[in-house]
């Protein structure tokens, strides 16, 4: 994969040069006696200098005025021109990724260098206007972008978006110049940020997604272990984008531990992406380690899944099975299921690319996936406290309780995002919901949780059942 190079425009992208440019126009007006509305001039920065001067001078006087402008510029325009918010951090973000930084601007190259030096911005190259080359404006910048291998170009002008498009680069717009978000998007921007303060996070995501796409190209074809959640949905969608639907298959394991609603949701996403969706049956309950429900239950569950879908991938001529494991999953530490998948040769493209859950949600939203904000929906066995045997009736009881409670909350006009009914053993359940809903769970609402003798309520916490590994008697 070639080295990343990021290009930036200068005026109103990295530097707010309006005050300095206005000062130079005011000096020229004073010297020549030609009235120039400097405030109007700096409100339309972007086009070549000659274009602006044509508003004020006859054609035959423009070359002289332009030369004088460039002579006056170093002494009068540099110091009054501050960096725009986020400019230094944006350049630092590029460096952090080991990438190159190039400034491509319509300004005279020597004067552009002075701005960068004054701002303390260190770049690898500056391409600006010079007498022996065409105007550096719009698609006229494209040759410079291609010459430096720029794959991302950041600018404030609609012409910058045209330049990026012509060069085959990702066009990143910032509405800090004369154009707003809608105008930049209409001009071809791939993304518009509020300003450069949002660029580091965007670049981190862009680099990670680019790495994901490269990893998927290496794989050539994949069977995605598809739960229907945000992670596996994004992996599946990206695999389809990169490889095509004919080289990608989704497989959702069907067993008593899968909520019925989750299977339907997974099928809908697969259909939307136009990908083949398999629903093989798995039999976790036949595994002693799974039923025993010790701390390694997820190991036995994932082992069953991989032992079932790996042969399917081989039959379909697909080189591997990919899971939706992300960078946060590994950082969380206690993930025996990840170990089982790794031992069986499953690949983890999201993890390989360093994608976090937040980044996956952001990229999913940009991709238009309905799963971008879908709450986590772990298997039903995760609701059963460690040490309590996992059985088919026990799983069904938890699912019925959660379904009934969701319906009761909806009937009471209460919208819920996160909801779990945790089976703590001995007919004791703990309901976990969004913190703001805890006071709303009256006895009438909790009456929907059938099959348990005692029911308590707490705010939802992901992975809360893992706490019982250290405190086995807390709820007994």
pLDDT at 289 over 80: yes
pLDDT classification of 331: cutoffs 50, 70, 90: confident
**270 and 180 in a common domain:** no
pLDDT at 285 over 70: yes
Rounded mean pLDDT, 213-230? 96
Report the greatest alpha carbon distance in the chain. Answer: 95
The count of structural domains within the chain is: 4
pLDDT at 465 over 90: no
**320 and 440 in a common domain:** no
**340 and 445 in a common domain:** no
**369 and 224 in a common domain:** yes
**Contact predicate 198/173, CB 8 Å:** no
Residue 322, pLDDT score? 97
- CATH code (residue 462): 3.30.300.10
Percent of the chain with pLDDT over 90: 86
In a domain, 132, yes or no: yes
Signed CA dihedral, 117, 123, 124, 128: sign only: negative
Report the DSSP beta bridge partners of residue 411: none
Picking from 120, 131, 139, 141, the residue whose alpha carbon sits closest to that of residue 8 is: 141
Residue 2, pLDDT score? 76
Question: Residue 157 belongs to what domain range?
Answer: 5-12+82-203
In angstroms, the CA 29 to CA 37 distance is: 9
**391 and 465 in a common domain:** yes
Least confident of 104-113, 167-176, 194-203, 372-381: 372-381
Distances (CA, A) of 245 to 118, 219, 240, 279: 52, 14, 5, 17
In angstroms, the CA 459 to CA 391 distance is: 26
In a domain, 212, yes or no: no
Least confident of 25-29, 83-87, 292-296: 292-296
Q: Which pTM value belongs to this model?
A: 0.89
**Contact predicate 225/308, CB 8 Å:** no
For 79-100, the pLDDT digits (tens) are: 999 999 999 999 999 999 999 9
In a domain, 213, yes or no: no
For helices 199-219 and 87-96, the axis angle rounded to 10 degrees is 30
In a domain, 208, yes or no: no
Least confident of 185-194, 300-309, 328-337, 374-383: 328-337
**Contact predicate 405/421, CB 8 Å:** yes
- CATH code (residue 89): 3.40.50.1000
Percent of the chain with pLDDT over 70: 96
Least confident of 47-51, 92-96, 207-211, 237-241: 47-51
**232 and 357 in a common domain:** yes
**326 and 232 in a common domain:** yes
Residue 139, pLDDT score? 87
Picking from 372, 371, 475, the residue whose alpha carbon sits closest to that of residue 431 is: 475
In a domain, 351, yes or no: yes
Residue 379, pLDDT score? 87
In angstroms, the CA 215 to CA 398 distance is: 39
In a domain, 224, yes or no: yes
Give the chain's mean pLDDT.
93
In a domain, 384, yes or no: yes
**Structure tokens given for 379:** 């298997």
**257 and 361 in a common domain:** yes
In angstroms, the CA 66 to CA 408 distance is: 74
288 CB-side CA count, 13 A: 0
- CATH code (residue 22): 1.10.150
**Contact predicate 359/350, CB 8 Å:** no
Rounded mean pLDDT, 259-263? 90
In the listed set 329, 349, 373, which residue is the last one of a domain according to the structure?
373
**Structure tokens given for 340:** 């089982």
pLDDT at 476 over 50: no
pLDDT at 107 over 60: yes
Residue 131, pLDDT score? 84
pLDDT classification of 135: cutoffs 50, 70, 90: confident
In the listed set 203, 231, 247, which residue is the last one of a domain according to the structure?
203
Q: What three-state secondary structure class fits 216? A: helix
Rounded mean pLDDT, 339-349? 95
**234 and 114 in a common domain:** no
pLDDT at 146 over 60: yes
**Contact predicate 178/35, CB 8 Å:** no
In the listed set 337, 357, 373, which residue is the last one of a domain according to the structure?
373
**93 and 71 in a common domain:** no
For 389-411, the pLDDT digits (tens) are: 999 999 999 999 999 999 999 99
Q: What three-state secondary structure class fits 111? A: helix
- CATH code (residue 282): 3.40.50.620
pLDDT at 176 over 80: yes
In a domain, 214, yes or no: no
Our measurement of the distance from residue 115's CA atom to the centroid of its chain's CA atoms, rounded to an integer in Å, reads 32
Q: Which of residues 129 and 468 earns the better pLDDT score?
A: 129
**390 and 358 in a common domain:** no
**120 and 192 in a common domain:** yes
């Amino acid at each position: 994969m070639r080295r990343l190079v990021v290009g930036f425009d200068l005026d109103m992208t990295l530097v707010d040069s309006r005050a300095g440019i206005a000062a130079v126009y005011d000096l020229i007006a004073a010297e020549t006696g030609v009235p120039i509305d400097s405030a109007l001039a700096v409100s339309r920065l972007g086009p070549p200098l000659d274009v602006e001067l044509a508003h004020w001078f006859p054609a035959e006087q423009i070359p002289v005025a332009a030369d004088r402008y460039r002579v006056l510029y170093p002494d009068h325009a540099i110091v009054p021109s501050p960096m725009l918010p986020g400019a230094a951090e944006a350049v630092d973000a590029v460096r952090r990724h080991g990438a190159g930084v190039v400034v491509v601007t319509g300004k005279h190259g020597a004067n552009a260098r002075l701005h960068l030096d004054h701002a303390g911005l260190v770049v690898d190259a500056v391409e600006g206007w010079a007498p022996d080359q065409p105007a550096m404006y719009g698609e006229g910048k494209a040759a410079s972008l291609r010459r430096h291998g720029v794959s991302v170009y950041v600018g404030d002008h609609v012409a910058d978006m045209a330049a990026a498009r012509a060069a085959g680069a990702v066009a990143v717009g910032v509405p800090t110049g004369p154009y707003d978000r809608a105008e930049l998007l209409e001009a071809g921007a791939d993304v518009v940020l509020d300003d450069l303060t949002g660029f580091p996070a965007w670049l981190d995501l862009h680099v990670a997604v680019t790495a994901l796409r490269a990893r998927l190209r290496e794989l050539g074809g994949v069977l995605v272990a598809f739960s229907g959640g945000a992670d596996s949905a994004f992996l599946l969608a990206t695999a389809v984008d990169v490889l095509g639907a004919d080289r990608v298959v989704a497989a959702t394991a069907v067993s008593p531990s899968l909520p019925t609603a989750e299977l339907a949701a997974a099928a809908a996403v697969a259909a939307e992406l136009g990908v083949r969706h398999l629903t093989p049956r798995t039999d976790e309950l036949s595994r002693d380690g799974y039923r025993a429900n010790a701390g390694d239950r997820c190991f036995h569950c994932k082992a069953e899944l991989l032992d079932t879908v790996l042969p399917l991938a081989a039959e379909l001529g697909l080189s591997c099975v990919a899971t939706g494991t992300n960078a946060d999953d590994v950082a969380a530490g206690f993930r025996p299921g990840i170990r089982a998948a790794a031992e069986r040769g499953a690949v983890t493209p999201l993890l390989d690319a360093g994608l976090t859950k937040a980044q996956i949600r952001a990229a999913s939203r940009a991709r238009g996936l309905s799963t971008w904000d879908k709450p986590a929906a772990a298997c039903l066995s995760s609701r059963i406290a460690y040490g309590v045997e996992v059985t088919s009736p026990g799983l069904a009881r938890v699912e019925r309780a959660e379904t009934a409670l969701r319906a009761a909350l909806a009937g009471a006009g209460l919208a819920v995002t996160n909801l779990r009914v945790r089976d703590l053993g001995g007919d004791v359940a703990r309901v976990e919901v969004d913190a703001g809903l805890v006071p709303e769970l009256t006895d009438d609402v909790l009456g929907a949780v059938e099959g348990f003798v005692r029911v308590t309520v707490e705010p939802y916490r992901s992975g809360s059942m893992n706490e019982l590994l250290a405190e086995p008697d807390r709820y007994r």
